Amino acid sequence: MLGLHQDETDRRFMQQAIELARKALDSEDVPIGALVVHAGRIIGRGCNQREKLCDPTAHAEMIALTAAAEYRNQWRLDDCTMYVTLEPCPMCAGALVLARLKRLVYAASDPKAGACGSLYEITQDGRLNHRVETVAGVLAEPAADLLREFFRHRRALGEK
């Protein structure tokens, strides 16, 4: 039954990450949301803010990691889980490894830039000094729907 409990917990936190993704959508950023959870409590939140901040590193995961590290007053997050609505890119996957994150749960896979199973396996690479337990596909459809909505709207405006 532990697995079932974990599944329910994963869905509950992923739903909150999807709500953060909606905030990014409202500010015309790619709708991705991320949470860092420690002992059942959210200690870091982030949504994409690349457009808002004019910062190529302002990914949801990076913002959530920074908030969690600040909250804990330490960079090691080895007993934390990140929930994110899209499979992390190479930069973010590398940051998860560097933060010594225990666990990653993501919703939709990213066949164009995913670094946690789709294109690369950074979080599982045995050449690195840490591996992150990874769970994929939790609430994948609602997260993917937000992304499709965003890009459909951008294409309708003639943007890429």
Per-residue pLDDT of the chain (160 residues; tens, 9 = 90+): 334 446 999 999 999 999 999 988 888 899 999 999 999 999 999 999 999 999 999 999 999 999 999 999 999 999 999 999 999 999 999 999 999 999 999 999 999 999 999 999 999 999 999 999 999 999 999 999 999 999 988 888 877 6
Contact 44, 72 (CB under 8 A): no
pLDDT of residue 76: 97
pLDDT of residue 8: 92
pLDDT of residue 3: 42
Paired tokens of 78: 């080895």
- Cα–Cα dist 68/82, whole Å: 10
Please tell me the pTM assigned to this model.
0.93
pLDDT of residue 115: 97
pLDDT of residue 24: 85
Please tell me which residue in 61, 87, 121, 133 is annotated as part of the active site: 61
61 is catalytic: yes
Paired tokens of 151: 């890009």
Contact 65, 49 (CB under 8 A): no
